[in-house]
Structure 1
């Protein structure tokens, strides 16, 4: 019996015996021949079987039919879409076969799991319906590619970091106190009468690693936000890409690190998947040039106003339409998909962002990608007395921050970092309309299953 091969390998194999496994995509059960399109995790191939069917009326003197051939024909006739099976047969190269120029003449097949005949979703099913049956939705070649791209993107980022001597950390997701603020916080009962909180970000622990002398660290892990938002870019559980580095002069050092990281990772995606992304998503992967444009927030607001948009926010931050307008301006004037919006007022930033001594603005940025914010980055305040004062300025009780503040009582170098939403990057890279399309299993205010 032949060892299983992947469908993508068939074109490179010589004619001869072969075994492939996958699920049935379509069956064409014709009178004299049967065709099955079988798909595995790497592609699709055509199976062919000369149909052997019993005569409608017995024919006197006719040769008895091959029982095995009859059984094979009946088995193929009974196959349903989604059935998983293994087929053994004869591989043949034939330029006339549209699907890869190869086909397999079936000798035998083994059904591993027969699917129900009625599929609960179709090509035109709505997003919520497809999310209900996500495991079926993910069988599409297009959706399979999303997670291959995600794998390449993450691997490339890890490669960039590891080659530069960064340390990967895995921070706790159960915390005794909030990691950011009391807002957007999930709490749960812990042992005894304790209350635990799901981490909103690894922020505190990233900074602890700087006090520990790690120097440069990164993490790719889950974070949780009790945010009742129903937008295309929000989720209650998502994958955050985080990094933190010591001995910086300003947030510019963080921004320079992030733009190099993204350019390297996107180049890896283009090299490995660019042609297939263009085919299935109609998107040309563009590797960004370095440096990315930088625009101070005050100038960004002027750009938005000049383009005819009146902001509704009272805190001075950009709203989603403002972000789109700034990105459109950058695309028109710099032909760039990324832009750092810098120099945010302290009033709309966390207490741990460092203030510029001259301007009073924070040494921070948001990174916009094709009109959507994907990152907040900053230099952190590392001086304990200043940090405590900034916490009080925000109305925070120092008692609830003791574990965090302890990191700074025994020395910590100047440092900074960023947090970036992986799903947002994938959504924008592939030109999708919602992070639900690029999340393996989405979690939102009304979705806890499957």
Structure 2
């Protein structure tokens, strides 16, 4: 038997014997001819078989085999995995890729049940129940190829600039940021462990260790009972931290260069397919991204006729959409850095400007949604202790973290960014559930 060939490789092959493997998408069982659309991980191809419906009295073994093949194809259920050996033929009249395969033999690897539990119009929750079937769609397959390209491009960006990739622990003895939104679990010797909300403390530890520049792409956990389209209890966080910065501007510049590089990689590799399947163009952002201080952003939003109801001074989701619309209209840009946040709405470890008292931090909005928080960190241990106290935190509970700064630390900063949110917005989807391999939320732990 010939070696398996991927569907994406068929156009480049000459006519002749070929073997393909995949799953059945549709069967058109006509009187004189049968058509099967077979999918694999790279695309779809049309299979064809001249139907044999009855046998003459003097039928030979070949005729019996043809009848058996026709019966087998007639009974194929959607989703059946099989291997086909046949004859490849180029024919520009074939709409699906300009090639088809005439079936010689067909080997079923695993037959599917005749009734599928989901359909094209099934609800999102129903599709999540049967995610492995939902992921067979070409659009959903593309999501994760885009994700692969996006992550690879970011890793390449960092590695080529001598960043060190770290893998921080996800089991912690103390909270990573606050006592809220924590998952706890029993540990050995009657201890309690916590699932890490972020690698924040350990990214900073790497700075005190003299690593200079680090990154991590890994799971993070938030016990947040939110049911919005952009929240999850387990998600993939993209993090970076760099030493010897002068302000958060150094972090912002690195991030905008990172995103420009990653988006260009996605556009180059998948742009045409994204246009075909999602109906949108991948816009590679120009740099620098616009920057707007938070106070100015609130004034702009108010001038657009929206009164932000939050009392802490931050933007709410509609405020984020409004300021992003302003940036799109004014600068023709899909990204905007909102800067200069008040300490009350920032973490205790964000450095504060000596003149304004505002934090040296930013949020990055993309298409009206926050995808990142970045900042210069406070590296002076005495200042850290005081800022922690202001937030109602007990410095004794942060001793392991504060130790990172008691033996010297460089000025540093970094950011954390949600992978699913970035993908959701890049592909114009309404929910991170659509772009998460297996979503976890307050009411979903399976499959």
Provide TM-score, normalisation by structure 1: 0.98
In the alignment, which residue of structure 2 is the partner of 1:288? 285
Distance in 2 of aligned mates of 1:196 and 1:101: 57
Deviation string for 1:158-189 (max 9, x for gaps)?
00000000000000000000001000000000
Deviation string for 1:264-323 (max 9, x for gaps)?
000000000001001100111000000000000000000111111111111000000000
In the alignment, which residue of structure 1 is the partner of 2:121? 124
* Helix, strand or coil at the partner of 2:66: helix
Distance in 2 of aligned mates of 1:391 and 1:65: 82
Deviation string for 1:14-54 (max 9, x for gaps)?
01000000000000111111110000000100111111122
In the alignment, which residue of structure 2 is the partner of 1:11? 11
Q: Structure 1 stretches (4+) deviating beyond 6 angstroms?
A: 59-65
Question: After superposition, where does 1:107-118 map in structure 2 within 5 Å?
Answer: 107-118=104-115
In the alignment, which residue of structure 1 is the partner of 2:160? 163
Please tell me whether residue 172 in structure 1 is matched to residue 169 in structure 2. yes
Following TM superposition, by how much is the alpha carbon of 1:61 offset from its aligned partner in structure 2, in angstroms?
6.9
Distance 1:65-1:275 versus aligned 2 partners, 3 A rule: closer
Distance in 1 of aligned mates of 2:60 and 2:356: 97
Distance in 1 of aligned mates of 2:38 and 2:388: 60
- Could you list the runs of 5+ residues in structure 1 that have no partner in the other structure? none
Following TM superposition, by how much is the alpha carbon of 1:62 offset from its aligned partner in structure 2, in angstroms?
7.4
Distance 1:344-1:64 versus aligned 2 partners, 3 A rule: closer
Distance in 1 of aligned mates of 2:301 and 2:141: 38
* Helix, strand or coil at the partner of 2:405: coil
2:239 aligns with one of 242, 245, 260: 242
Distance 1:409-1:76 versus aligned 2 partners, 3 A rule: same
Following TM superposition, by how much is the alpha carbon of 1:103 offset from its aligned partner in structure 2, in angstroms?
0.6
In the alignment, which residue of structure 2 is the partner of 1:49? 49
Please tell me whether residue 106 in structure 1 is matched to residue 103 in structure 2. yes
Following TM superposition, by how much is the alpha carbon of 1:60 offset from its aligned partner in structure 2, in angstroms?
6.4
Please tell me whether residue 442 in structure 1 is matched to residue 428 in structure 2. no
Distance 1:286-1:62 versus aligned 2 partners, 3 A rule: closer
* Helix, strand or coil at the partner of 1:445: coil
Distance in 2 of aligned mates of 1:260 and 1:178: 32
* Helix, strand or coil at the partner of 1:333: helix
In the alignment, which residue of structure 2 is the partner of 1:30? 30
Distance 1:64-1:243 versus aligned 2 partners, 3 A rule: closer
Distance in 2 of aligned mates of 1:265 and 1:176: 35
Question: After superposition, where does 1:403-442 map in structure 2 within 5 Å?
Answer: 403-442=400-439
Deviation string for 1:342-388 (max 9, x for gaps)?
00000000000000000000000000000000000000000001011
Distance in 2 of aligned mates of 1:120 and 1:52: 32
Please tell me whether residue 206 in structure 1 is matched to residue 203 in structure 2. yes
Please tell me whether residue 229 in structure 1 is matched to residue 226 in structure 2. yes
Question: After superposition, where does 1:12-411 map in structure 2 within 5 Å?
Answer: 12-54=12-54, 66-411=63-408
Following TM superposition, by how much is the alpha carbon of 1:126 offset from its aligned partner in structure 2, in angstroms?
0.8
Distance in 2 of aligned mates of 1:394 and 1:65: 82
Distance 1:60-1:277 versus aligned 2 partners, 3 A rule: closer
Distance 1:62-1:177 versus aligned 2 partners, 3 A rule: closer
Distance 1:405-1:62 versus aligned 2 partners, 3 A rule: closer
Following TM superposition, by how much is the alpha carbon of 1:75 offset from its aligned partner in structure 2, in angstroms?
1.0
Distance 1:60-1:234 versus aligned 2 partners, 3 A rule: closer
Following TM superposition, by how much is the alpha carbon of 1:65 offset from its aligned partner in structure 2, in angstroms?
6.8
Following TM superposition, by how much is the alpha carbon of 1:64 offset from its aligned partner in structure 2, in angstroms?
8.0
Distance in 1 of aligned mates of 2:62 and 2:321: 69
> Which one is further off, 62-71 or 101-110?
62-71
Alignment RMSD? 1.0
Distance in 2 of aligned mates of 1:221 and 1:326: 30
